[in-house]
Amino acid sequence: MSNNDKLASKMKAIVGEANVIEDPEKLKAYAVDGEAPGLFVAPGTIEETSKVVACANAEKRSVVPMGSGTKMGLGGILKKKADILLSTRRMNRIADYDIANLTLGVECGLTLAEVQEKLAGEGRGYFIPLDPPYSREATIGGIVATNDSGPKRFIYGAARDVILGVKAVMPNGDIVVSGGKAVKNVAGYDMTKMMIGSMGALGIICEVIFRIYPKPDAEATLLLPFGTLNEAAGYLKMLLHSKFFPASMELMNAKAASGITAAAGLKGPYVAAIGLEGIEEAVARQIAELGDLGRKGGALDVVTLKDQAHRDFWTAYRDLTGTAAKSSPNLVDLKSNFVLSKVPEMVMAFEAALKDASMEGALTCRAGNGILYAAISPGADAAAKAAAVASMVERLTAESVKQGGNLVVQGAPRAIKEKLSVWGKTRSDAVLVRRLKEKLDPSGILNPGRFVAGV
């Protein structure tokens, strides 16, 4: 019996034979950066997850956690093949329902859409204030492990701002509870904050306690096309410093707008998208006043979206990269952050870099947060363009750093990943990340090499 067969037998004893895949052909569907794992294992409880990880740690086998797989393109290339791909999808129960105190505890395998649907049917309706890409498919665990967020980050913040506590399995198999309604905490670390955004490299998030909010009475969207970048950026800057407080403030170029039905017919190379929510009267007043301000600021048109049209727009906007990837399988997905005042400079820097590389890209910008996303298609032969794409990414990373931020490659073909640092410029806090990894995961079994600084 081979070592992999022995490991498979142990995994079957823990999670059941039906929840282990060892067929090499079937495992190809779970490849990470083109390399299939040794086993697919799907524990159904946190206790089973603990036993799986403890066993892997004892045998120094690598473990890569995965929810629905929507964010598996993020991160560096694994230092070694994944011995176990640990699926969290069977951990899909609501653990602590406390609407009276506006908190909700959920297991990591539930999708955000499933949770939102459940909350919407409670009383007057509630929601978790997160709207990341792929909300219909993305699991709670994946969203939290990557600290993902969406356009409403402007008003509600990111995952770090709405999470009260987590329950996680550590690399040695220990179950640790932190924050929220915790009964056990680890002295010395803020485990909740540490786990959020850690890519499963420091522990596997199994349960999360969220702060929830009542659903707003009304929602609407304003789409304003502009003839120049300066006009669009000027309008958004004015809005940022005004008496208004929208739920989201976004800017997109024509390539991005062309991929969204509601914005595709708008004239102008740049489109501002403003999300509004609140009581009916306040939303109506903002529609009128922000529309007037837009026209005075050079907007070529003002389009108002409500009800289903409003919801469809934001779903399409958030999922733009995923939609583009269906027709461009070699898509390169970039995320740049920078100081808020440099929005127009960064958009121009991306446009110039794309032009010089003879490539096109859909650009979307969190104009209220200083974050820019680029979905770039290098063409059918990614390997042939790898050097050119890597050079362009390095150029944009340097520009992001110059403007007070950094750049992350959220997804790219392996041939391109191999030629660059997917986490951007290494910062001084990389030393701290390495020390945490050495302390918590001395055998390096969890997601080896995929997190910041190659840990």
**pLDDT tens digits, one per residue of 73-110:** 999 999 989 999 999 999 999 988 898 999 999 999 99
What is the Cα–Cα distance from 252 to 365, expressed in whole angstroms? 6
Is 187 a residue whose pLDDT tops 70? no
What pLDDT score was predicted for residue 379?
Answer: 83
Mean pLDDT calculated for residue range 420-442 = 93
Same domain assignment for residues 135 and 150: yes
Domain assignment of residue 434, yes or no? no
Domain assignment of residue 198, yes or no? yes
Same domain assignment for residues 332 and 388: yes
Q: By residue range, what is the domain housing residue 99?
A: 94-214
Among 214, 249, 283, residue at a domain's last position: 214
Same domain assignment for residues 62 and 9: yes
Among 71, 87, 103, residue at a domain's last position: 87
Mean of all residue pLDDT scores within the chain:
94
Mean pLDDT calculated for residue range 212-228 = 97
What pLDDT score was predicted for residue 447?
Answer: 96
Domain assignment of residue 59, yes or no? yes
Domain assignment of residue 435, yes or no? no
What is the Cα–Cα distance from 31 to 155, expressed in whole angstroms? 37
| DSSP letter (8 states) at residue 418 | T
Q: In what order do the strands lie in the sheet with 20-21?
A: 20-21, 39-41, 84-87, 63-66
Which pairs count as long-range contacts for 257-265, CB under 8 Å and 24+ apart, including other chains? Answer: 257/225, 259/316, 259/320, 259/323, 259/324, 259/362, 260/313, 260/316, 260/317, 260/320, 261/312, 261/313, 261/316, 262/223, 262/303, 262/305, 262/309, 262/312, 262/313, 262/316, 263/223, 263/313
Angle at which helices 280-296 and 229-240 pack, to 10 degrees?
140
What pLDDT score was predicted for residue 382?
Answer: 80
Task: Provide the Cα torsion 24, 27, 32, 35; round to 10°.
Answer: 10
Domain assignment of residue 343, yes or no? yes
pLDDT digits (tens, 9 = 90+) for 242-264: 999 999 999 999 999 999 999 99
Is 117 a residue whose pLDDT tops 90? yes
What is the Cα–Cα distance from 1 to 131, expressed in whole angstroms? 47
What pLDDT score was predicted for residue 32?
Answer: 95
Among 166, 197, 214, residue at a domain's last position: 214
Question: How does residue 188 score in pLDDT terms, banded at 50, 70 and 90?
Answer: low
Is 186 a residue whose pLDDT tops 60? no
More confident residue, 329 or 374: 374
| DSSP letter (8 states) at residue 29 | G
pLDDT digits (tens, 9 = 90+) for 392-402: 999 999 999 99
What pLDDT score was predicted for residue 327?
Answer: 85
Mapped onto helix, strand or coil, the DSSP state of residue 87 is: strand
225: its two tokens:
């096309």
Q: Which CATH number belongs to the domain containing residue 369 in this structure?
A: 3.30.70.2740
What is the Cα–Cα distance from 347 to 436, expressed in whole angstroms? 36
Domain assignment of residue 32, yes or no? yes
- Do 408 and 338 touch, CB atoms closer than 8 A? no
Mean pLDDT calculated for residue range 57-71 = 96
Domain assignment of residue 433, yes or no? no
What pLDDT score was predicted for residue 380?
Answer: 80
pLDDT digits (tens, 9 = 90+) for 335-361: 999 999 999 999 999 999 999 999 999
Same domain assignment for residues 102 and 53: no
Q: Which CATH number belongs to the domain containing residue 63 in this structure?
A: 3.30.43.10
Same domain assignment for residues 167 and 111: yes
What is the Cα–Cα distance from 318 to 250, expressed in whole angstroms? 11
Same domain assignment for residues 184 and 141: yes
More confident residue, 81 or 11: 11
pTM greater than 0.85 (yes/no): yes
Is 185 a residue whose pLDDT tops 50? no
Same domain assignment for residues 13 and 25: yes
Same domain assignment for residues 210 and 223: no
102: its two tokens:
């506006």
What pLDDT score was predicted for residue 325?
Answer: 87
Is 184 a residue whose pLDDT tops 70? no
What pLDDT score was predicted for residue 181?
Answer: 54
43: its two tokens:
């524990």
Is 59 a residue whose pLDDT tops 90? yes
More confident residue, 366 or 188: 366
Q: Could you give the percent of the chain with pLDDT greater than 90?
A: 87
Same domain assignment for residues 189 and 99: yes
Mean pLDDT calculated for residue range 124-139 = 95
70: its two tokens:
């929507």
Same domain assignment for residues 366 and 282: no
Same domain assignment for residues 120 and 204: yes
Question: How does residue 316 score in pLDDT terms, banded at 50, 70 and 90?
Answer: very high
Same domain assignment for residues 334 and 348: yes
Domain assignment of residue 422, yes or no? no
Is 216 a residue whose pLDDT tops 50? yes
Is 45 a residue whose pLDDT tops 80? yes
Domain count, the chain: 4
